[in-house]
A and B are shown apart, each in its own frame.
Chain A
Amino acid sequence: MKIFYWLFVFLGSAVLLSKSVIGHHAYNANYTDERGSIEGVVVEVFWGNPHVHYYLQVTNNDGSQSLWNLESENLGMMTRAGWTIDTLQVGNRIRVFGSLGREGRPRLAMELNSVEFLD
């Protein structure tokens, strides 16, 4: 299975154009203004508050594996957006956009409407 990731970097207003709104928490301390996309396989789902998380196994360009932490919204906002616990399941191979973690940390503030199923 060939999985890779790449980065798209936009400056300035990119964050503001994003659909992801992880407000009320330390968003700015955890994420940069840089948007990126990753591809990988969902290996764990956390469907709960304070925020829904998905954990993605990603194969890097050099063939090594990394576990990425995808942060989403609180349950109320997810539900209002039409998502359920079954929307993304363990084993799904996806591509997703979002804001990248600070200091190169493997985390992404995912944009709900950017998820693309690859299988």
Chain B
Amino acid sequence: MNTDKALSLKKLLFGGLCLLFYIFPVAQAQENFLGIWQIWVESGYELRPAYGTLSIETNQENWEVYVDGGPVVVLDLNEENIRFELDWVDLRDTPRISVLEGVLDNGVISGHATEDGEERGEWKALRLVEQDNFPPNPVDLSGIWGPPDYIGKNVFDLTDAGWEAHEAYDPTLDDPMLRCMSDGLIRMSHGPFDVEVLNAGNRIVMLYEDMHEIRRVYLDRDFPDSIGSLNQSMGYSIGHWEGSTLVVETRGLKRSVWDAPGMPISPDAIFTERWYLDDSGVLHIEFSMNDPENYQRPVLMHQIRTKQPDNAEVSPYSCDPHPFYRGLDIEGRLDEYWGRSRYRL
């Protein structure tokens, strides 16, 4: 080795070490953000506290951050700080964007959310811990539970098929609810309505205020062989207890949408829920919808419901499609509606 080459090698080694010492602490600190967190925001979709799932990943080049299974725009992520845009919809399906800015300290991310520069309250995130599979320890979930609170994430990574289904959907004509048809299990799971839970031995019965739908969660059986062709708005649900958490899996859903703007559901979707009570008696329902036909990754939601007084009653819900057809008649759109029969859900 001649002197010039030796000098170059030393320079290279020195430069490499400098780069390593520069990158390593930053990368290590940023890696502290990596993982899955339970996020809590002071102001959810109806300005009430709500929970969700924050997932921070890296693909070697970029940070990828997801809330409830949908991507968010990362504005900044350095040693101790994170700032990202959280897109969500309010109860009227109006898209909104909050900026969440937080500091990582002692294993907790916490900070403030703003919207158009206005304060939207605090938020924080705690790292999710993998839970052991405890032996069954059923608890009493019976009662009437009020409308849910959740974050209301708006944007999800759709597949090509998912985009095609979403684009073809006209929410003013194709929505099954307009015709008083059931809006389906996933949509009514987070609609602004009560749900009444009854224990019935080998099954738990759930009575939804929305459309007065009835759902049975069977605790003593597997899915029927015909599940692939069941094609029902409420699907078929089986459940079991993991400790004091009721775990419910639903299959056999019909092709539909799970929100008013038209996020699609395929008949192969698997809907999993975890129902549990916290120390203050609030009901938590964490759900995951795994539908690879339509979504790049599972759609998640964490909702909370408060128990209603013992004398509460679920309101009757009789639905009449008259105003839908009346409205189309007034607007001269009846022919347009009849012409879309192949899109009808």
Q: Which of B297-343 contact A (CB under 8 A)?
A: 315-320, 322-323, 326-327, 330-331
Number of CB contacts from chain A to chain B under 8 A: 96
Digitize A12-43: 1 where CB-to-B-CB distance is under 8 Å, 0 elsewhere: 00011000011111111110000000000000
Decide if B317 touches A28 in the complex (CB within 8 Å): no
Decide if A49 touches B319 in the complex (CB within 8 Å): yes
Q: Which residue of A lies closest to B118 (CB)?
A: A13
B58 within 8 A of A: no
Give every chain B residue within 8 A of A67 (Cβ-Cβ).
330
Consensus secondary structure, chain B interface: loop
Q: Which residue of B lies closest to A77 (CB)?
A: B192
Q: Which of B196-221 contact A (CB under 8 A)?
A: 209-210
How many B residues have CB within 8 A of the partner chain? 34
Decide if B260 touches A27 in the complex (CB within 8 Å): yes
Give every chain A residue within 8 A of B210 (Cβ-Cβ).
24
Decide if B261 touches A55 in the complex (CB within 8 Å): no
How many A residues have CB within 8 A of the partner chain? 30
**Docked CA distance A119–B68 (Å):** 52
Q: Which of A46-66 contact B (CB under 8 A)?
A: 46, 48-51, 53, 55
Beyond A16-B94, A23-B91, A27-B93, whether A50 also contacts B180 by CB under 8 A is yes
Which of B90, B93, B316, B323 is within 8 Å of A46, CB to CB?
B323
Q: Which residue of B lies closest to A27 (CB)?
A: B92
**Docked CA distance A79–B316 (Å):** 12
A76 within 8 A of B: yes
Consensus secondary structure, chain A interface: mixed
Decide if A15 touches B92 in the complex (CB within 8 Å): yes
Q: Which residue of A lies closest to B323 (CB)?
A: A53
Decide if A106 touches B330 in the complex (CB within 8 Å): yes
Q: Which of A64-83 contact B (CB under 8 A)?
A: 67-69, 71, 74-76, 79
Which one of B101-109, B170-178, B284-292 is at the interface? Answer: B170-178
Q: Which residue of A lies closest to B332 (CB)?
A: A105
Minimum C-beta distance from B345 to chain A (A): 13
**Docked CA distance A105–B328 (Å):** 10
**Docked CA distance A75–B319 (Å):** 10
Which of A16, A26, A46, A76 is within 8 Å of B209, CB to CB?
A76
**Docked CA distance A22–B171 (Å):** 14
Give every chain B residue within 8 A of A50 (Cβ-Cβ).
177-178, 180, 319, 323
A107 within 8 A of B: yes
Decide if B92 touches A21 in the complex (CB within 8 Å): yes
Minimum C-beta distance from B333 to chain A (A): 8
**Docked CA distance A67–B327 (Å):** 10
Minimum C-beta distance from B192 to chain A (A): 5
23 contacts between A and B (CB under 8 A): A15-B94, A21-B92, A23-B93, A24-B177, A24-B183, A24-B187, A24-B191, A26-B172, A28-B92, A28-B94, A28-B95, A28-B261, A29-B172, A46-B320, A48-B320, A49-B318, A50-B178, A50-B323, A53-B327, A55-B326, A69-B330, A79-B315, A107-B327
Residues in A lying within 8 Å of B, measured CB to CB = 15-16, 21-30, 46, 48-51, 53, 55, 67-69, 71, 74-76, 79, 105-107
